[in-house]
Structure 1
Amino acid sequence: MPLSQPWTLVSPASRGIGQALARHVLRTTKAPMVATARGDLERAKEEILEGMNPNARERLSMVALDFLDESTIASASQHCADRFPQRTHHLHLALVVPGLLFPEKAPAQIDADNALLTLQTNTLGPLLAIKHFARHLPRKSTSLPDSATDAFANLPLPATWATMSARVGSITDNKLGGWYSYRASKAAVNQITKTFDNHLRTQAGEKAVAVAMHPGTVRTGLSRDFWDSVAKEKLFEADWVAERLMGVLKDGSGDKLRGRCWDWKGEEVPP
């Protein structure tokens, strides 16, 4: 059986943290990448590649994926299956980072349509990504090269499925209330992460783990309405956060990280 070669996934990668993560992974690793966007793939690709060396362009492919449309998730997965046959390749790093926030400060501000959209984007979307992309992760029977080879340079070990969560998804840490739909969507992400990691223990053993990530408050469109209320030292740039999150994934051992939520400092966010 041939040794399996790694590839990476960042979804979505058209803006914000996703774009910063895609650029960081392309810049620091040698693995090919599939990045997704809902539309205008060429524009998204050029923004990711801005300032990169030609090798990055050769390793990056863009695929259409809308987390609100399962058919596009299935199609994106099939594109990856065609490009990276499971006999010779495996998904080694998946960064699944959709995000939507409606800040309901009181129960009267809850809007059913907005709440449903929040849960569809932040929770159901990543869950459907697991449904369609889990098959690409290594299994117990997958033959992997020596981790010291160039193909694994600066990639986390073992293979890692990482979904974007948030500290406000912690029930233990909830002392302020508000943000009902967003909190619920991220608490559900943490539960899904634990459940999926249990599945990976059975299917992949120590070769794949699932984790959730908390990036802090990042200067992106998601948090724009709150920039003025956040202390300067606690409002982070997307590139800075991408580097810190990847450092946590790369430096942490699989057994330590698996099934739990970790912040940009490498500290666990309690359930």
Structure 2
Amino acid sequence: MPATSRPWALVSPASRGIGLQLARRILQTTNVPVVATARKELDRTKGEILNGLKVDESRLDVLKVDMLDETTIESAASHCASKFPTKGDGAHHLHLAYIIPGLLFPEKSPRQIDASSALLTFQTNALGPLLMLKHFSPFLPKKNASFAEEDDAMKGLPKQAIMGLMSARVGSITDNTLGGWYSYRASKAAVNQITKTFDNFLRSTAGDAAMAVALHPGTVKTELSREFWGNVREEKLFEAEWVAERLVERLRRVLGVGERGRCWDWKGEEIPP
């Protein structure tokens, strides 16, 4: 990859909650172009991401992506290929990505499992990210790529390119002492496996230039967790903006190639598979 390659970032989806705040945080703390995605209301999403920020609005693109529709993922990737070519003069590479869809149907017993809901959970939480990797992994840097830390284009970015996938503590088989949430737990365990498998692929194609990790944000005040807020101690229930700050800092400052392919929480502690 040419030394002049320029970084860009991706947040998908970014229409609300953690994703919206991640897009805002990256715009505030870096100089890179940011691609955010939403299923609908792209203009509204763009306005909410930019609301109150003193940044160059041209740095943000909002593209349509529906995790249940691969054609939208492919179309978004094609748009990025045109805007961020990976070869030639002015080449670009994807340096920071958060793939973070989430859907939860809280089955407390096996009798509550609904086949269509469970399938939708897997399609959203696991298959969607897998298809995102299929179409967006070609934008990651190749082996032997190097990034100058003093380069202004690299301000606020991690040393290596990182693809972060949203997991959850309940996706850990080792940590599962309570049971329940069958389809959600299984889909997030699948995310951990996808992350590890994809990172093994990056070891051969990118070496130390790019890696993948899974992330656990904690219990966040979003629509996904709204009905469970009353069961969570106040000090364990986080605002999306606060979590986004920590997830960005987690990838920027702490992670190194020795921590690749694993699942980390917002505090920087590893969650066992």
- TM-score if structure 1 supplies the norm length? 0.97
User: How far, CA to CA, are the matches of 2:3 and 2:177 in structure 1?
Assistant: 52
1:136 aligns with 2:125: no
Deviations 1:74-100 (A, max 9, x none): 000010000000110000001000000
Report the Cα distance in structure 1 between the residues aligned to 2:156 and 2:207, rounded to whole angstroms: 22
Structure 1 runs of 4+ aligned residues shifted over 2 Å read none
State the SS of the aligned residue for 1:185. helix
Q: Which residue of 1 aligns with 2:209?
A: 207
What's 1:77 paired with? 77
Go from structure 1 to structure 2 and tell me whether the alpha carbon gap of 1:112 and 1:257 turns closer, same or farther (over 3 Å shift): same
CA contact 1:198–1:259 (8 Å) conserved in 2: yes
**Kept in 1: contact 2:144–2:208 (CA 8 A):** no
The residue type paired with residue 97 of structure 1 is I
* Cα deviation 1:164-195 (Å, max 9, x = unaligned): 00000000000000000000000000000000
For 2:114, which of 111, 115, 127 is the aligned residue?
111
**Cα RMSD after superposing both structures:** 1.0
The offset of 1:145, in angstroms, is 4.2
1:141 Cα deviation (Å)?
Answer: 5.1
Q: 1:236-271 CA distances to partner (integer Å, 9 max, x unpaired)?
A: 000000111111111123223210000000000000
Deviation at residue 19 of structure 1 after TM alignment: 0.4
Which residue of the partner structure matches residue 27 of structure 1?
28
| Matched-pair identity in % | 63
What is the match of residue 193 of structure 1? 195
The equivalent of 1:89 in structure 2 is: 92
Number of aligned pairs? 269
Shift of the alpha carbon at 1:148?
A: 1.9
**Any idea what SS the aligned residue of 1:161 has?**
strand
Partner of 2:61: 61
CA distances 1:32-70 after superposition (whole Å, capped 9, x unpaired): 011000011000000000001141x12001110000000
Structure 1 residues 214 and 145, CA, compared in 2 at 3 Å: closer, same or farther? closer
CA distance in 1, matches of 2:75, 2:251: 28
Q: Check conservation: 1:209, 1:254, Cα contact below 8 A.
A: no
1:224 and 2:226 matched: yes
- 1:238 alignment counterpart: 240
1: distance between equivalents of 2:212 and 2:159?
A: 12
Once residues 67 and 257 of structure 1 are traced to their aligned partners in structure 2, the CA distance between those partners, rounded to angstroms, is 28
Q: Which runs of 5 or more structure 2 residues have no equivalent in the other structure?
A: none
Paired amino acid for 1:61: D
